[in-house]
Structure 1
Amino acid sequence: MKFVLAICFAVLQGLSMSAWAQAAAPYPATFPAPATAAAPSAAPTSTLRFYNRPLITFRGELGGVSAPDRAGRALVRLKDQLDMDGPHQVSRKADSMGVLVQIDGATTFVVTPAEVDATQQETLDMAAAKAQRALESAIAQSKESRNLDAILKALGWSAAASVIALALWWGLQRLHTAVGRKLLQLSAEHATKLQVGGITLVNRNRVVAMVRGAITLVLRLMLFLVAYQWLSFVLGRFPFTRVWSEALNGYLLDFALGAGNAIVGAVPGLFTACVIFYLARLLTRGLDNFFERVLEGEHTLAWLDADVAVPTRRIAKVLVWLFALAMAYPYLPGAGTEAFKGLSVLVGLMISLGASNLVGQAASGLILTYGRVYRKGEYVQLASQEGTVTEMGMFATRIRTGLGEELTISNTSILAGTTKNYSRAVQGAGYVVDTTVTIGYDTPWRQVHAMLIDAALRTEGILTHPAPQVFQTALSDWYPVYRLVCQAVPEEPRPRAQVLSALHANIQDVFNTFGVQIMSPQYIADPATPKTVPPAQWAPEPASPPADAPQRTSA
């Protein structure tokens, strides 16, 4: 047994001496190549390291010796001093050059005023004391690395920590499976219970997916912490890697303290921002109640009617939230950081470059809305397209044509063209129906007027009051131009194209009945026979005759 322990001690001693050699070897950053010239803007610096632990950073010359040479000479003296027998007691001694750091009364290196870190607001004595503590820890680690009992104890602690870490890993996996199954079952059962008016507020599959993702995230975070602490503990058991363990623990502690301080520091500002947003929400609720009363007719204002109440409410709410965001912005966590400022500049640049057309569309929509050019339900002609207005948006307007089509027209194109409103000039509800015909000068104009009015009165959906009117809009070279204008309010909503088609059909029937031919617009001379359809031939096969048409007589 003693022979095995002796062999293990020899192996560990060899590893320890290898670590000693690695710690004692000059680092590339500490000993730059002689051919490499130092930057003229700053004096070269060099850090003295022993057993992977930084002892002091030399920042200036001493007696004509540069900082890298000072670090190299101090490392050689330190190695020689530790090779000698003795208690290896570290002490400090004031001197005209600075503070001498000594081992057993022999100087190892000198801490000069150049080594004082002004950014940390430390003094020369504080810098020397810090170097003394680092040297004492490094010497203790070097002694520990050559102690068989300490190495065996470290191996035992590492093995125990590994077993505990594996047990925790296995336990967390089992706990994740059990808790995850129960939470998924509960979320699937209760997701469908969140209903308002028979409508499910959340989707069951989405709730299950969100719960599964949250459980997996918590498990991975806990597993990461277990692995992190295991690695830090194991590294801290061995002298050469103890400084890495201290760095890991320090980083985690600094991160936790920094995050905690940031959260605590952000609470007052976050509370102020929440108060601002809450007041904005109360104000928007008040605006909703006010505009609802305007829509219901409880409030009557000269500058606000029901037609523009809805867009005005939207604009007012947007302005309220924009003002609230501007007021709460300085209190939001991270608002003063450079990243937040850069993101704000980027978003503003994207909006300014890519949203010019969008802003133009919105401005056109506001002009059309508040100019009351047309309203929802009116029959209009927009951008050479006719139809009933079904939706008025901030960026586009939708109309439905008589052919069953729904057209979306941008507000900028509407504002750039001429808009015809067939519903605005009528008495009451409805819209204007008009058509144009051209008849030769040989037909009395009074007869043409009477026939057009008769055709209008035969059309279903054309009102008798106000009565249809006929206007002679032009006296062309070959014929006058007659325009029939009437008002249509169907009992049931019918597309204007259907009413206009029926009106055109009745015009043809009436003109054929009275033997008046429609030869325009290519009229040159009277034909040999009149171009009219006798009533007996109004409905050849397979068409069915109208109710008021005369019956066909057999030969």
Structure 2
Amino acid sequence: FELLSAARFADALTLVVRVTRVVLTVMLLYLFVPLVLSFFPWTAPLSRRIVGYVLSPLHTVWLGFTGYLPKVFFILVIVLVTRYLLSLIRLVFQALKTGALALEGFHADWADPTYNIVRFLVIAFAAVVMFPYLPGAGSDAFKGVSLFVGVLFSLGSSGAVGNIVAGVVLTYTRAFQIGDRVRIGETMGDVVERTLLVTRVRTIKNEDITIPNGTVLSSQVINYTSQAASRGLILNTTVTIGYDAPWRQVHELLIGAARACEGILQEPAPFVFQTSLDDFYVSYQLNAYTDQPAVMARTYSDLHQQIQDKFNEAGVEIMSPHYRSARDGNQTTVPAENLPKDYRAPAFRVASLPPAGSDR
């Protein structure tokens, strides 16, 4: 690792030597000219005037510095008091975070954001107290610059301030934590980072999506993890089966598929709702509990595979909402490996109508 190359160092050293030479030349010239002028009576006043051009500003600077020393000490006292006060506040919130100190209704994950807010308020208060003691604080130029910076900050940071406020609200509403599987609007994934400005979500495709907190606060947030460990998350899927299949058999097949699925809890037991009786089929909704929301996609896939296997083994066809079939002369939709060995597609049945006016 090379911080400064030899060539750059040589150039920098050459520049320093040149500047030093110019400064020394100017100083010697300044001392030499008044000294020469002071030897002659008619140029002696001019010599004193030239010396005054430098001594007078230096005297003014020195008087200003000595007069400002009490304010400097006051600022130093404020800085020291603020520093140690922040250290004490940090210790308190660190104890709240680790559980060494407990306050009723105050959650441990609130410690860091609350400390940041309190620290900002303390620093802002200290800055307000120090402001009158800053050099030139009472001048019109300083006031003008302060006003310009304030207006510029107000106009340029309205969106950022809105996101910060939204981040604070999300923190204290505890809508989600780091690592939770959530759906925010159309985005679904695991929360990997949450700041006062943005929330970052990593999808199952390993895509990191950054969402402004203002958008998060105005969107519907679904948390799949918050109750999964204690009460379980209910996964549900719907199948449509024709009226020719007994509903009790359908219930048994669906529940059996759920019990055979990896990631589905045996207790509480899976259950089935019949959500609608449509013109050509019945809609069955299978509900099953899981405590692994992080692998929801894989669990759903496995569940659908188990449903297909169970229904095929029982010879029950899963009809889609727009499925149509002419039964006579057509092969059933059940896979061949689940059909009896002597199965044959039914033949067409044709019947003739009696002639008009016939008694038969």
TM superposition score normalised by structure 1? 0.53
What SS does structure 1 have at the residue aligned with 2:230? coil
Contact 1:235 1:242 in 2 (8 A): no
Which residue of 352, 373, 377 maps to 2:175?
373
Q: Give the letter for the 2:313 counterpart.
A: T
How far apart are the structure 1 equivalents of 2:18 and 2:71? 32
Superposed CA deviations along residues 71-103 of structure 1, whole A, max 9, x for unmatched, are xxxxxxxxxxxxxxxxxxxxxxxxxxxxxxxxx
How far apart are the structure 2 equivalents of 1:243 and 1:510? 115
Matched, 1:226 2:24: yes
How far apart are the structure 2 equivalents of 1:411 and 1:245? 69
Contact 1:471 1:482 in 2 (8 A): yes
Which residue of 127, 133, 136 maps to 1:334?
136
- Equivalent in the alignment of 1:53: none
Q: 1:496 to 1:222 in 2, by over 3 A?
A: same
How far apart are the structure 2 equivalents of 1:407 and 1:358? 18
- Equivalent in the alignment of 1:516: 316
Contact 1:358 1:395 in 2 (8 A): yes
Distance apart, 1:217 and its partner CA? 8.8
- Equivalent in the alignment of 1:497: 297
How far apart are the structure 2 equivalents of 1:260 and 1:217? 30
Q: 1:424 to 1:255 in 2, by over 3 A?
A: same
Which residue of 323, 333, 356 maps to 1:531?
333
Which residue of 162, 166, 169 maps to 1:360?
162
What SS does structure 2 have at the residue aligned with 1:415? helix
Q: Give the letter for the 1:461 counterpart.
A: G
Which residue of 452, 460, 473 maps to 2:262?
460
Distance apart, 1:479 and its partner CA? 3.4
How far apart are the structure 1 equivalents of 2:260 and 2:109? 35
Which residue of 116, 122, 126 maps to 1:320?
122
Matched, 1:446 2:256: no
How far apart are the structure 1 equivalents of 2:86 and 2:252? 60
Distance apart, 1:381 and its partner CA? 0.9
Which residue of 82, 86, 89 maps to 1:280?
82
- Equivalent in the alignment of 2:66: 264
Matched, 1:252 2:50: no
Contact 1:441 1:480 in 2 (8 A): yes
How far apart are the structure 1 equivalents of 2:22 and 2:66? 25
Distance apart, 1:432 and its partner CA? 4.4
Q: Give the letter for the 2:144 counterpart.
A: G
Unaligned runs of 5+ in 2: 340-360
Superposed CA deviations along residues 25-54 of structure 1, whole A, max 9, x for unmatched, are xxxxxxxxxxxxxxxxxxxxxxxxxxxxxx
How far apart are the structure 2 equivalents of 1:249 and 1:222? 22
Contact 1:473 1:482 in 2 (8 A): yes
Alignment map for 1:33-182 (pairs within 5 Å) = none
Q: Give the CA RMSD over aligned residues.
A: 3.4
How far apart are the structure 2 equivalents of 1:411 and 1:522? 43
How far apart are the structure 2 equivalents of 1:320 and 1:388? 35
What SS does structure 2 have at the residue aligned with 1:485? strand
Contact 1:430 1:487 in 2 (8 A): yes
Distance apart, 1:359 and its partner CA? 1.0
Distance apart, 1:222 and its partner CA? 4.6
What SS does structure 2 have at the residue aligned with 1:495? helix
- Equivalent in the alignment of 2:186: 384
Count of aligned residue pairs for this structure pair: 330
How far apart are the structure 2 equivalents of 1:242 and 1:371? 81
Contact 1:399 1:408 in 2 (8 A): yes
Unaligned runs of 5+ in 1: 1-202, 538-555
Which is further off, 448-457 or 288-297?
448-457
Q: 1:285 to 1:475 in 2, by over 3 A?
A: farther
Contact 2:160 2:197 in 1 (8 A): yes
Superposed CA deviations along residues 417-474 of structure 1, whole A, max 9, x for unmatched, are 2111222233528654333333333333333333232222222222222223333344
Q: 1:425 to 1:249 in 2, by over 3 A?
A: same
Distance apart, 1:393 and its partner CA? 1.6
TM superposition score normalised by structure 2? 0.78
- Quote the sequence identity (%): 38
Alignment map for 1:204-215 (pairs within 5 Å) = 205=3
Q: Give the letter for the 2:227 counterpart.
A: A
Q: 1:337 to 1:425 in 2, by over 3 A?
A: same
Distance apart, 1:334 and its partner CA? 3.0
Specify which structure has the bigger relative contact order, considering alpha-carbon pairs within 8 angstroms and separated by 6 or more residues: 2
Distance apart, 1:489 and its partner CA? 3.1
Q: Give the letter for the 1:424 counterpart.
A: S
How far apart are the structure 2 equivalents of 1:280 and 1:341? 25
Larger CA Rg, structure 1 vs 2: 1
Contact 2:228 2:291 in 1 (8 A): no
What SS does structure 2 have at the residue aligned with 1:252? helix
